[in-house]
Chain A
Amino acid sequence: MRIWPLIWLLAAALTVSACSPIGPPQAGGGGMEMEDGMSMDMSGGSMAADSLEAQTTENGHFKVGAVSRLDPVVINETHSWTLHIETADGNPVTDAEITIDGGMPEHNHGFPTAPRVTENLGEGKYLLEGMRFNMGGAWVLTLEISSGGESDTVTFEFELK
Chain B
Amino acid sequence: MRGRLVAGASLALIVLAATILILTGVVDAGNVGAAVRGVFSSSAGGRGGGLLSGPEAAHSWSEAERGIIASLSLDRLPPLPPDPSNAYGDSPDAAALGHALFFDSGLSPDGTVACSTCHQPQSYFSDGKALANVRDSDTPRHTPTIVGIAYSDWFYWDGRKDSQWAQALAPQEAAIEHGGTRTAHARYVLEKFGSQYEAVFGPAPDLSDRSRFPPDAAPVEDERRLAAWEGMTEADRGAINRVFANIGKSIAAYSRRILPGRSRFDDYAAAALVNDRKRMAELFSAEEAEGLRLFIGEGQCTDCHNGPLFTNGTFHNIGLPLPEGSRFDQGRSLGTLQVVEDVFNCLGEFSDAGEEACVELRFIKLEGEELIGAFKVPGLRSVAETAPYMHNGIFPDLEAVMRHYNHAPPAFPGHSDLVPLAFTEGQSEAVIAFLLTLSAPPDAPAEFLRPPANQE
Contacts and interface: CB of A to CB of B under 8 A. Distances in A.
A16 B417 CA distance: 34
Given A8-B6, A9-B40, A109 B370 contact: yes
B17 interface: yes
A137 B303 contact: yes
Contact of B306 (A8, A16, A44): A44
A110 B370 contact: yes
Interface stretch (A50-58, A128-136, A139-147): A128-136
B363 A7 contact: no
Contacts of A8: 6, 10
Contact of A110 (B18, B66, B368, B415): B368
Interface in A1-18: 1, 4, 7-18
Interface in B362-415: 362-368, 370, 415
Nearest to A13: B43
B370 A11 contact: no
Contacts of B3: 1, 4
Interface stretch (B87-95, B103-111, B307-315): B307-315
A10 B13 CA distance: 10
A84 B43 CA distance: 40
Given A14-B13, A112-B314, A42 B359 contact: no
Contacts of A161: 64
Contacts of B273: 42
Contact of A130 (B70, B307, B362): B362
A13 to B, nearest CB: 4
Interface in A76-121: 76, 78, 107-116
A45 interface: yes
A75 B307 contact: yes
Nearest to B273: A42
Contacts of A16: 43
Contacts of B370: 108-110
A116 B362 CA distance: 10
A43 interface: yes
Q: Which of B10, B66, B72, B417 gathers most chain A CB within 10 Å?
A: B10
A43 B363 contact: no
Nearest to A80: B359
Contacts, number: 129
A108 B415 contact: yes
A130 B363 contact: yes
B67 A43 contact: yes
Nearest to B17: A14
Given A10-B40, A44-B72, A136 B303 contact: yes
The number of chain B residues touching the other chain, given as a range, is 35 or more
A35 interface: no
Contacts of B13: 11, 14-15
B80 interface: no
Interface in B285-333: 302-304, 306-307, 312-315
Contact of A17 (B10, B43, B153, B363): B43
B368 A78 contact: no
A135 B359 contact: no
Given A1-B3, A107-B417, A14 B39 contact: yes
A41 B364 CA distance: 29
A115 to B, nearest CB: 6
Nearest to B4: A4
Contacts of B44: 9, 13
Contact of B363 (A41, A78, A110, A137): A78
B304 A115 contact: no
A21 interface: yes
Contacts of B39: 10, 13-14, 17
Contacts of B364: 113-114
A80 B313 CA distance: 18
A4 B6 contact: yes
A132 B313 CA distance: 11
B349 interface: no
23 contacts: A9-B40, A12-B43, A14-B36, A14-B39, A15-B17, A17-B43, A21-B67, A44-B68, A44-B302, A76-B307, A78-B363, A107-B417, A108-B370, A108-B415, A108-B417, A111-B365, A112-B312, A113-B360, A129-B362, A134-B313, A134-B314, A135-B304, A135-B306
Interface of B: 3, 6-7, 10-11, 13-14, 17-18, 20-21, 26, 36, 39-40, 43-44, 63-64, 66-68, 70-72, 153, 273, 302-304, 306-307, 312-315, 359-360, 362-368, 370, 415, 417
